[in-house]
Amino acid sequence: MPSLESWIKHGEELRRPLIANTKLGDSEKVVIVGGGLSGLCCAYRIAQKRPDISVVIHERANRLGGVINTWQEGEWICDLAVNATRPHPAFWRLINDLGLSEKFNSSRPQAKSRWVLLDGKSHKLSWRTLFKIGPLKLRKALKKSRAGGQSVDQVIPHKAIADALCLGIVNETSDNVDADFLLPSLTKFGDNPPIKRAKLSKLINASYPIFTPKRGSIASIEGGMQCLVDALVAKLSNLENVDIRLEQEVQSAQSVALEYDIGAESVIWAAPGVQENYTASTLSIFAIGYLDKQVQDVKVGYGTLIPDSNLPISGILHESDLHHSKRCPEGHRLFRLMVPHNRWDKDEQKVLDVAEKLLAKDPVLFVKIGERKIPRYLPGYMANLKQLSSDFSHAGWAISGVSITHVVDEAERFAELF
């Protein structure tokens, strides 16, 4: 059972299993397959802790960062994937260690509100949302979920709200998402803390470097999340025991072990696709911008989730509302559109038509800025993952967590094995 000290350091992330070979910490050389955020963080934390061992990052692309990428056109700045982080001491520690503290700020308090589009009407998500779900139905569903292996729509008995929650995180409808994966603290998956949650929260809050985040807030980096990747790469490039190798194709963890003359127990797979039956969904990302006066009727907030599968857009994020740092020219507002490919026929005009109905006509900016692939986590996923045994270790988005806080904290947990 994890100690109280571990719960203070890692919080609810301890509910997620760490898929690590027990002999990993004995390695003299570690090869990390995948140079996305997870692989970079694992390399940084391990190499930092153990300067006496060799750490290799083996990346198939010609750049590092994986899904983390920031698009920029003049003064318009928009992240393609994660644009902010929820509170977690591990992320604050990373920002502090990378020297990014002055560029890291809490989100604007005016942008806390979130909405979901239900039957064509915008509904603000709050404690009142419980009455749409039904408090007694929710309580009964949560109690039943403790048996494990259920879908999110079985735990949150309001399909549209459950779908909105899932679409905003993993680009899937709620019947296709494992509740233990998305909501482990609610379903009580994994270990439970040794003290009451309120007392644990106070101890965790006291452990934050830089600043203690306010409840309900998130935080972001000036200039976008690409700055985080750039800072990690700069640190790793200055560590003598780290070797970064780009454009390196790989077939399996076993082939990597043979190539580097190490045992499979010294391989950390931090890339998608290695586990059996791995699949992913795809969505396109659009940036759309307006003059302030064009969207004066659009309330300032975090964004709107859209569970209606008849519309190509599943979510609208208010990029320039959210961040303290500048994301668009003065006198303008920037929004990010999430467009799942299973709801869209690739006609960009249809995306624009819906965006104009939901926001305003005649944007000054409308451009597709990229695509993302998000792993699928079907019901029962975490229960099966807990039973996974392997000759090598697994890390990253494609394993047990899709949030940025998960991969950053997971890297610290791997480093603790050394």
Q: Is 88's pLDDT higher than 90?
A: yes
What are the tens digits of pLDDT across the range 11-26? 999 999 999 999 999 9
What are the tens digits of pLDDT across the range 391-402? 999 999 989 888
Centre a 10 Å sphere on the Cβ of residue 73 and count the other Cβ atoms it contains.
12
Q: What is the pLDDT of residue 388?
A: 83
Could you tell me which residues are beta bridge partners of residue 65? 36
What are the tens digits of pLDDT across the range 116-126? 999 899 999 88
Q: What is the pLDDT of residue 185?
A: 92
Structural domain boundaries in the chain: 4-67+85-102+210-278+378-415, 133-184
Average pLDDT over residues 127-136: 80
What backbone phi and psi angles, to 5 degrees, belong to 114? Answer: -130, 150
Residue 112 CA: distances (Å) to CA of 38, 172, 179, 246: 28, 24, 25, 40
For residues 133 and 194, give the distance between their C-alpha atoms in angstroms, rounded to a whole number: 31
What is the chain's alpha carbon radius of gyration, rounded to the nearest angstrom? Answer: 21
Could you tell me which residues are beta bridge partners of residue 334? 289
Asked if residue 333 lies in contact with residue 293, where contact means CB atoms within 8 angstroms, the answer is: no
What are the tens digits of pLDDT across the range 306-333? 999 999 999 999 999 999 999 999 999 9
What are the tens digits of pLDDT across the range 356-381? 999 999 999 999 999 999 999 999 99
Q: Is 97's pLDDT higher than 90?
A: yes
Q: Is 276's pLDDT higher than 80?
A: no
What are the tens digits of pLDDT across the range 229-253? 999 999 999 999 999 999 999 889 9
Give the pLDDT band of residue 277 (cuts 50, 70, 90).
Answer: confident
Between 73-82, 227-236, 273-282, the lowest mean confidence (pLDDT) is in 273-282
Q: Is 103's pLDDT higher than 90?
A: yes
The dihedral over CA atoms of 158, 161, 163, 168, expressed in degrees to the nearest 10, equals -160
Q: Is 274's pLDDT higher than 80?
A: no
Could you tell me which residues are beta bridge partners of residue 72? 77
Q: Return mean pLDDT, the chain.
A: 94
Q: What is the pLDDT of residue 144?
A: 85
What backbone phi and psi angles, to 5 degrees, belong to 225? Answer: -70, -15
Q: What is the pLDDT of residue 138?
A: 82
Q: What is the pLDDT of residue 1?
A: 84
Q: What is the pLDDT of residue 261?
A: 96
The two three-digit tokens of residue 306, written as one number:
């859209």
Average pLDDT over residues 63-81: 96
Give the pLDDT band of residue 133 (cuts 50, 70, 90).
Answer: confident
Of the chain, the percentage scoring pLDDT greater than 70 comes to 99
Give the pLDDT band of residue 145 (cuts 50, 70, 90).
Answer: confident
Residue 163 CA: distances (Å) to CA of 159, 265, 290, 385, 418: 6, 39, 29, 23, 41
For residues 100 and 42, give the distance between their C-alpha atoms in angstroms, rounded to a whole number: 18
Q: Is 135's pLDDT higher than 90?
A: no
Asked if residue 271 lies in contact with residue 36, where contact means CB atoms within 8 angstroms, the answer is: yes
- The CATH code of the domain at 4-67+85-102+210-278+378-415 is 3.40.50.720
Q: What is the pLDDT of residue 389?
A: 78
For residues 55 and 43, give the distance between their C-alpha atoms in angstroms, rounded to a whole number: 6
Q: Is 270's pLDDT higher than 80?
A: yes
Q: What is the pLDDT of residue 400?
A: 85
Beta strands 121-124 and 267-269: pairing type? Answer: unpaired
Q: Three-state SS string across the chain, please? A: CCCHHHHHHHHHHHHCCCCCCCCHHHCCEEEEECCEHHHHHHHHHHHHHCCCCEEEEECCCCCCECCCCEEEECCEEEECCCCCECCCHHHHHHHHHCCCHHHEEECCHHHCCEEEEECCEEEECCCCHHHHHCHHHHHHHHHHHCCCCCEHHHHCCCHHHHHHHHHHHHCCCHHHCEHHHHCHHHHCCCCCCCCCHHHHHHHHHCCCCCCCCCCCCCEEECCCCHHHHHHHHHHHHCCCCEEEECCCCCCCHHHHHHHHCCCHHHEEECCCCCCCCCCEEEEEEEEEEEEHHHHCCCCCCCEEECCCCCCCCCEEECHHHHCCCCCCCCCEEEEEEEEEHHHCCCCHHHHHHHHHHHCCCCCCEEEEEEEEEEECCCCCHHHHHHCCCCCCEECCCCCCCCCHHHHHHHHHHHHCCC
What are the tens digits of pLDDT across the range 175-234? 999 999 999 999 999 999 999 999 999 999 999 999 999 988 899 999 999 999 999 999
Q: Is 127's pLDDT higher than 80?
A: no
For residues 56 and 35, give the distance between their C-alpha atoms in angstroms, rounded to a whole number: 10
* pTM score of the predicted model: 0.95
